[in-house]
Structure 1
Amino acid sequence: MGLHNIKMPDVGEGITEAEIVEWHVNVGDVVKEDDVLAAVMTDKATVEIPSPVDGTVKAIMGEVGEMTAIGTPIITLEVEGEGNTSAEAEAPAPAPAKAEEPKPEPKKAEAPKPAPKKPEPTPAPVVKPAAAKAHTGAPRPEGEKPVASPAVRKRAMDAGVKLEYVHGTGPAGRITHEDLDAYISGESAPRAAGTGRVANTSVEEIRVIGLRRKIAERMQDAKRRIPHITYVEEVDVTELEALRENMNATKHADQPKLTILPFIMLAMVRALKHSPKLSSHYDDANDMLYQYGAAHIGMAAQTPGGLMVPVVRHAEARDIWGMAEEIHRLAHAARNGSITREELTGSTITLSSLGRMGGIVSTPVINSPEVAIVGVNKVAVRPVWQEGAFVPRKIMNLSSSFDHRIVDGWDAAEFIQRIKMLMEHPATLFMEE
């Protein structure tokens, strides 16, 4: 039998370390070749580490949430044959022998002491109840005195309990012997007056690891480094929604169902022709702006593990149906965990939408190193004054953020106003310029 070390793999793109986010095996487990041993998180995606050999898990190095350098051993398997490392190399060095301690010299015999006199019997001490635990709730409001009988007050004083912290269940909040017993034993908890509901004082510690930690790092970096400007505009999507419903009702069976997102992406593509600077990456370390002719639109998608941003590549080359099909494919892959690293990188501008939970206004955070993000709020029917009367119209707000180092307020407003015009006159989305 031999030992086989498996190291943190090099996943490319210059990454020097990765985070262990999940172990799929335990020490003692028997694994087969290609069985998944662990999952690690890079800057962009989760990568599974398969076993290259059959064997038994001998040791696991590294804990979940730990950043580990590429090439560092993370798991050892016991395998048939010699393996790729020796057992002696893995075995801990034997502890050095302890020096023999000198034996103590025998003590000289002492003369026997006279037996002590038998003490006079004394009354047994009064055993007081254990002092109450630390106060677990706020005292009563200032000036409100606890209601209790003299016997309960004496017991509380003997136990070192302040009745201001004891909840009374008797009439008018009177503190009973049972209330005091419960408090001393630590079983009581403050209740809302007259409700019988127990306050929940628990605190759960949740370690922030994996995708959630990556999201936190990227959002913190973006907000610290990028001066955001947010521009909000309302859009009347009544005509657009009527067109969308008609297209869904008359589509072919092999065509995807249309949501509002493909229409917004199409409007973004058309608007970017007039505002090409907004499809860019800003390298602030080298004062370089990379302006892309392509519209690689990132699509913020909520998944069970957290926020991901799949990329609809070359949106400028897709029609409305191709856009919808790619959106559906990427969203499904993100939610079931099959999305690839390449499908999560390379966006030049991002579209963020919370669907029906979109609220009225939001302040989306720019997906660095991009310089713009378009935020979509929910569609709501509102009264709009038209031709001397209020009429119901479907209104949706666009809440969009821009990197103010690159994008001036005028440029931001011009971009959003062009999107608004295209969406309010949806036929123009399909007209060649």
Structure 2
Amino acid sequence: MAIKEFKLPDVGEGVAEGELVTWHVAPGDTVEEDQVVAEVETDKALVDVPSPYNGTVSELRAEEGEMVPVGDVIITFEVEGEGEEDTAESSDGEQVTADDAGDGDDAGDAADESAEETTDTAETERTSGRVFASPSVRRLARELGVDIGSVSGSGPSGRVTESDVQAAADSGSDGDDADSGGPRSVSFSGKSAVSKRGDAGNGEVASGSASADAAGREKTLAAPATRRIADEEGVNIDDVPASEERDGEAFVTPEAVREYAQAQREAQAADAKALSEEADAGEVAAESGSESEPETASEPAASGPAAGERVPYRGVRRAIGDQMERSKYTAPHVTHHDDVDVTDLVELREDLKPLAEEQGVSLTYMPFVMKAVVAALKEFPYVNAQLDEENEEIVLRDEYNVGVAAATDVGLMVPVVRGVDGKGLSDLARDMNEKVEKARERKISREEMQGGTFTITNIGGIGGEYATPIINYPEVAILALGAIKEKPRVVDGDVVPRKVLTLSLSVDHRVVDGAVAAQFTNKVKEYLANPKLLMLE
């Protein structure tokens, strides 16, 4: 038996810590690889933490509610068959003998020199790291003939999903793309963050074949102590630029490993900074207490803090607050209010609901609004734009990715439905419903909340009519929907009851003028008042 420690993974994207929300295991419990042992909340999402081993829980090193820095040990396992006589498995999946594992960093140059003779033929085949995947996913990979070790996971903590395996099988690459890059990093958001290699500032390397084979070599000569340093730094030694060449093969020194690891960290930090604006904007919503389903009111949380308590301001709630502050104090907001007679839309939806239900789709008003919005965006491209302040340019987007604000127990999230202009009502409803449900369950990935070009939020679900929603920055506009109510309207000289929907459009006045906002709203009204026009879109 051997004791294995498991550290809170490096989530990347600027996340340095997470709150341990719930333990699903206790000391003495038997666990299998990939079994969920805990839930951890970062300022990005609530995610499952899977066990990397088959074994028995030895000790829980963190308490529920505790903020744990990335890299701290949170749990230990007793693992069979991995004692002193057995091989010790390193963090990136390489196998080293017990004797090798005993070589410490103090060996230094002496170990390197001895390795020149004793490890001339020591080679390491490139590995893609420990694979997190459920038994059903592994079975699917076997059935499709896919090497699961080469598939880049898109699920929580880098877990490989069925869709990842299917995509690898469909492409016929068997995940070759994953092997062509640097080492995989684990991300709670479900995004496998791959750091830059070779040209990311690795320091000087020798000329010749050693430097030419710096990325993803099949053979690497290195001392055991050097391999241990690579394990501790979490890098694949085959990706480290070689500083020497011995017997025609690349030879890697400890200094080269450390320089490469540092270059990776710097590259990750640079990438995270460059993407932070879009990423933050895609994860949190504009201000309002809405749900994505217009006819369904937001239910209060089943349990929560009581009056008089002090609630920590962190996690997703703080991310929402930071985004709202940034948006409000960056983009000068102007809100245009109007209403529209949607009596015909109500009747059309009632006619189509049974047909949608036969297809297993719940048809709300939101897909109709999304289609109307996109039709109007095509005529008023400045409303579907983004201000590039650094380059002093207004970017008119040619994509129509609509975010739909969804209320969760920790605040608003904005799942993004991509390519709205190319989807029918049923497909829109299905896509939106699935993503909203995932958001409410806190299982939605980071990518599914990024890349939006326009946002819709519904205050009518909880009884509101008008609002002044905050823009989902760096977008330049957001539309709030009020409740559909029966109100008196004049039709052909007679006052009759009609179904009326209220609209509140907030725009970034640096990009969108008030007149354009009014014209855009009028076009949305035209499509909602005459919903049959949407059938042509």
> C-alpha distance in 2, partners of 1:16/1:360?
38
User: Which residue is equivalent to 1:299?
Assistant: 404
Deviation at 1:73, TM superposition (A): 3.8
**Distance 1:232-1:67 versus aligned 2 partners, 3 A rule:** farther
Select 2:440's aligned residue among 335, 355, 364: 335
**Distance 1:247-1:356 versus aligned 2 partners, 3 A rule:** same
User: Which residue is equivalent to 1:58?
Assistant: 59
Unaligned regions of 5+ residues in structure 1, if any? 87-200
> Residue type of the partner of 2:429?
A
User: Which residue is equivalent to 2:333?
Assistant: 228
Number of aligned residue pairs: 316
User: Which residue is equivalent to 2:107?
Assistant: none
Deviation at 1:212, TM superposition (A): 2.3
User: Which residue is equivalent to 1:34?
Assistant: 34
> Residue type of the partner of 1:217?
D
Deviation at 1:281, TM superposition (A): 3.5
Does the 8 A contact of 1:352 with 1:375 survive in 2? yes
Deviation at 1:288, TM superposition (A): 4.8
TM-score, normalised by the number of residues in structure 2: 0.53
> C-alpha distance in 1, partners of 2:14/2:329?
23
Does the 8 A contact of 1:262 with 1:324 survive in 2? yes
1:68 is aligned to 2:69: yes
CA displacement 1:96-128 (0-9 Å, x = unmatched): xxxxxxxxxxxxxxxxxxxxxxxxxxxxxxxxx
User: Which residue is equivalent to 1:10?
Assistant: 10
Q: Which of structures 1 and 2 has the bigger CA Rg?
A: 1
**Distance 1:29-1:416 versus aligned 2 partners, 3 A rule:** farther
- CA RMSD, Structure 1 to Structure 2 (Å): 2.9
Deviation at 1:316, TM superposition (A): 0.7
**Distance 1:305-1:281 versus aligned 2 partners, 3 A rule:** same
**SS at structure 1 position matched to 2:358:** coil
Deviation at 1:231, TM superposition (A): 1.1
> C-alpha distance in 1, partners of 2:401/2:66?
32
The 5 Å alignment of 1:4-403 reads 4-12=4-12, 14-24=13-23, 28-32=27-31, 33-42=33-42, 44-53=44-53, 54-61=55-62, 64=65, 66=67, 68-69=69-70, 71-80=71-80, 81=83, 203-249=308-354, 253-254=358-359, 256-284=361-389, 287-403=392-508
User: Which residue is equivalent to 2:274?
Assistant: none
> C-alpha distance in 1, partners of 2:307/2:373?
48
Of all paired residues, the percent bearing the same amino acid is: 37
**Distance 1:415-1:297 versus aligned 2 partners, 3 A rule:** same
Unaligned regions of 5+ residues in structure 2, if any? 92-97, 99-305
**SS at structure 1 position matched to 2:456:** strand
Does the 8 A contact of 1:235 with 1:397 survive in 2? yes
Does the 8 A contact of 1:20 with 1:62 survive in 2? no
**SS at structure 2 position matched to 1:316:** helix
> Residue type of the partner of 1:428?
L
**SS at structure 2 position matched to 1:208:** coil
CA displacement 1:339-388 (0-9 Å, x = unmatched): 33322222111110134324121111111221111111000111112333
> Residue type of the partner of 1:24?
W
Q: Higher mean Cα deviation, 271-280 or 34-43? A: 34-43
> C-alpha distance in 2, partners of 1:284/1:65?
39
> C-alpha distance in 1, partners of 2:72/2:388?
31
CA displacement 1:210-245 (0-9 Å, x = unmatched): 322322222222223222111111111111111111
> Residue type of the partner of 2:518?
A
Task: Give the number of the structure whose residues are more often helix, by fraction.
Answer: 2
Deviation at 1:297, TM superposition (A): 0.6
> C-alpha distance in 1, partners of 2:317/2:324?
11
**Distance 1:202-1:366 versus aligned 2 partners, 3 A rule:** closer
TM-score, normalised by the number of residues in structure 1: 0.65
Deviation at 1:260, TM superposition (A): 1.0
**SS at structure 2 position matched to 1:378:** coil
Does the 8 A contact of 1:6 with 1:73 survive in 2? yes
